[in-house]
Amino acid sequence: MQRIDKIYINGQFVTPHGEEWFSLYNPATEEVIGQVRLADAEDAKHAIAAAKAALPAFSRTSKAERIALLTRMRDALAARKDDLAEAIIEEYGAPAARSGWMTDFPVMAIESAIEQLKSYEFEKQAGNARVLMTPVGVAGLITPWNSDAGFICGKLATALSAGCTAVIKPSEMSALQTQIVTEALHAAGLPAGVFNIVTGRGEVVGAEMSNSNDVAKISFTGSTATGKAILRSAAESFKRVTLELGGKSPTIILDDANIEEAVPLAIAAGFINSGQACIAGTRILVPESRKVEFETALAQVVSQTHSGDPRDQHTDIGPMVSQKQWDRVQHYIQLGIDEGARVLSGGVGRPEGMVRGWCVKPTLFTDVRNDMTIAREEIFGPVLSIISYRDEAEAITIANDTQYGLSALVLTGNKARGARVAEQIESGRVLINTLEHEPKAPFGGVKHSGIGREMGVWGLEAFLEPKAILAAK
């Protein structure tokens, strides 16, 4: 049983003012594996003050100094990979293959930030004006539980690249992973106050950050509902915001797609991160003319998808992160049945033979209409819906008929056609016949999937304010 009783402020591990203890669970066994003492609003204020005090000196550091610091940060994270991998399985329940990627992701995210910083010019010329790209100020970074270390490191590395100092509010459910990240960042020897980590409740610590006049920007990844709350409070102080929110991503299988190639990609897109992914392709659009063929092939893969113990090498889908998340997924599966969708594989309850652990049956529905709740709301679990369409135009209409717009996948035998369809999809990112990630490209959503972009030059500039200086000739 681990007890985490410190938060990190001004270069030191300190006892929080907050006195609430929060239980940490192993989602595969439902056992309590730790306790974390949560920060409160008072702690958030101290963290913000420390970041504010560190800002003047840090914002004047050179590009070379920041690159050196980010390099130390990257190496320190790399040195803790094994510990992080263990915590990701224990506390989050990611199956082996996924936990490997989640362990590498923080290091890759810092590396991408370093590459971006190397090539970035902080001074530009616009006509007669010098344009200085200046750090926006203290950044509040608020992250979810579904990729704790990756989001903390990606956001922090970008904020520091820009010359901002930061207060990080990770999910309270990821305290074991956060502890390892904090220890690594401490070992990297960053100047005191440049980053501060206060694990606490969102409506307490997160709200204090979005209300504070001393926080100039919030970079948030999480649910659309929380994103709206942050946007409202940010208005009071004209805070800059980057909001990475939910999704209900379409996978459009065009009628010329090769079934052997398309089906594994469609399932992998839908079941990414055990279905607990903002980008998960949960609406699978198939041509009416090939509906039965795709139903059969998709159902065959889903029925062979193993949901269970994350430590079992054969497991594809790990448990849901919490009882609440398990209940939520069960609710939506039952709702799909009640709404008249047909279960091709899976259904309510635990996988056969399991009596504990928050595992769900990988579930595939067909005969789903796009106006059904299971096609409109983010389920955040391994539940996929097949929706049929008559022609390409209707496929595009259905794909776009959603309040979300984070990611989309087009599967086709014709690249040019895929590109033409991709251009018509309302989404921050569209993939064609691939699930590859490109860290140099912007990432973020349209509509209720968010505001702004992370990654690449777009991500860096989201932490910068242009200042134009004009002098008499």
Q: Decide: is 278 part of the binding site for ligand NAD (CB under 6 A).
A: yes
Among 112, 171, 179, 385, binds ligand NAD (CB under 6 A): 171
Least distance in angstroms from the C-beta of 431 to ligand NAD: 15
Euclidean distance between CA atoms 408 and 204, whole angstroms: 34
Least distance in angstroms from the C-beta of 140 to ligand NAD: 9
Q: Which of residues 388-427 bind ligand NAD (CB under 6 A)?
A: 406
Q: Decide: is 88 part of the binding site for ligand NAD (CB under 6 A).
A: no
Among 165, 226, 282, 363, binds ligand NAD (CB under 6 A): 226
Stretch that binds ligand NAD, among 49-57, 200-208, 282-290, 331-339 (CB under 6 A): 200-208
CB 370 within 8 A of CB 391: no
Q: Decide: is 203 part of the binding site for ligand NAD (CB under 6 A).
A: yes
Residue 298 neighbours by CB distance under 10 Å: 26
Stretch that binds ligand NAD, among 39-47, 64-72, 215-223, 362-370 (CB under 6 A): 215-223
Among 16, 222, 382, 459, binds ligand NAD (CB under 6 A): 222
Q: Decide: is 318 part of the binding site for ligand NAD (CB under 6 A).
A: no
Stretch that binds ligand NAD, among 49-57, 155-163, 242-250, 352-360 (CB under 6 A): 242-250
Query: Is 244 part of the annotated catalytic residue set?
Result: yes
Residues 350-389 as x/- pattern, contact with ligand NAD by CB under 6 A: ----------------------------x-x---------
C-alpha distances out from residue 406 to 11, 243, 248, 402, 437, Å? 36, 11, 8, 11, 14
Among 16, 150, 246, 381, binds ligand NAD (CB under 6 A): 246
Q: Of 108 and 132, which CB lies nearer to ligand NAD in the complex structure?
A: 108
CB 113 within 8 A of CB 159: no
Please give the span between the terminal C-alpha atoms of the chain, in angstroms, as a whole number. 69
Stretch that binds ligand NAD, among 183-191, 216-224, 259-267, 414-422 (CB under 6 A): 216-224
Question: Coil, strand or helix: which one is 249?
Answer: coil
Stretch that binds ligand NAD, among 1-9, 137-145, 176-184, 311-319 (CB under 6 A): 137-145
Token duo for residue 261: 């190639």
Euclidean distance between CA atoms 458 and 403, whole angstroms: 23
DSSP 449: G
Among 99, 103, 219, 221, binds ligand NAD (CB under 6 A): 221
Q: How far is CA 194 from the centre of its chain?
A: 23
Stretch that binds ligand NAD, among 76-84, 217-225, 283-291, 357-365 (CB under 6 A): 217-225
Among 146, 212, 251, 427, binds ligand NAD (CB under 6 A): 146
Least distance in angstroms from the C-beta of 110 to ligand NAD: 17
Q: Which residues pair with 188 in a beta bridge?
A: none
CB 374 within 8 A of CB 351: no
Among 7, 245, 408, 409, binds ligand NAD (CB under 6 A): 245
Q: Mention every residue, 6+ apart, whose C-beta is less than 8 A from residue 445.
A: 244, 245, 247, 404, 405, 406, 407, 427, 428
> Per the residue annotation, which of 90, 172, 244, 454 is the catalytic one?
244
Kind of pairing, strands 165-169 and 383-389? unpaired
Least distance in angstroms from the C-beta of 179 to ligand NAD: 15
Count of residues interacting with ligand NAD (CB under 6 A) = 29
Rg (Cα) of the chain, in Å, rounded?
Answer: 23
CB 121 within 8 A of CB 185: no
Query: How many alpha carbons lie under 13 Å from residue 169 in its C-beta half-sphere?
Result: 30
CB 210 within 8 A of CB 243: no
Q: Of 309 and 378, which CB lies nearer to ligand NAD in the complex structure?
A: 378
Instruction: Please report the sign of the dihedral spanned by the C-alpha atoms of residue 264, residue 270, residue 275, residue 276.
Output: positive
Q: Decide: is 169 part of the binding site for ligand NAD (CB under 6 A).
A: yes
Q: Of 287 and 445, which CB lies nearer to ligand NAD in the complex structure?
A: 445
Q: Of 366 and 407, which CB lies nearer to ligand NAD in the complex structure?
A: 407
Least distance in angstroms from the C-beta of 49 to ligand NAD: 19
**Closest C-alpha to 395, from 420, 364, 414:** 420
Q: Decide: is 66 part of the binding site for ligand NAD (CB under 6 A).
A: no
Three-class HEC string of 170-222: CCHHHHHHHHHHHHHHHHCCCCCCCEEECCECHHHHHHHHHHCCCCCEEEEEC
Which residues are known catalytic residues? 244
Contacting positions for ligand NAD (CB under 6 A): 142-146, 169-171, 202-203, 206-207, 210, 221-223, 226, 229-230, 244-247, 278, 378, 380, 406, 445, 450
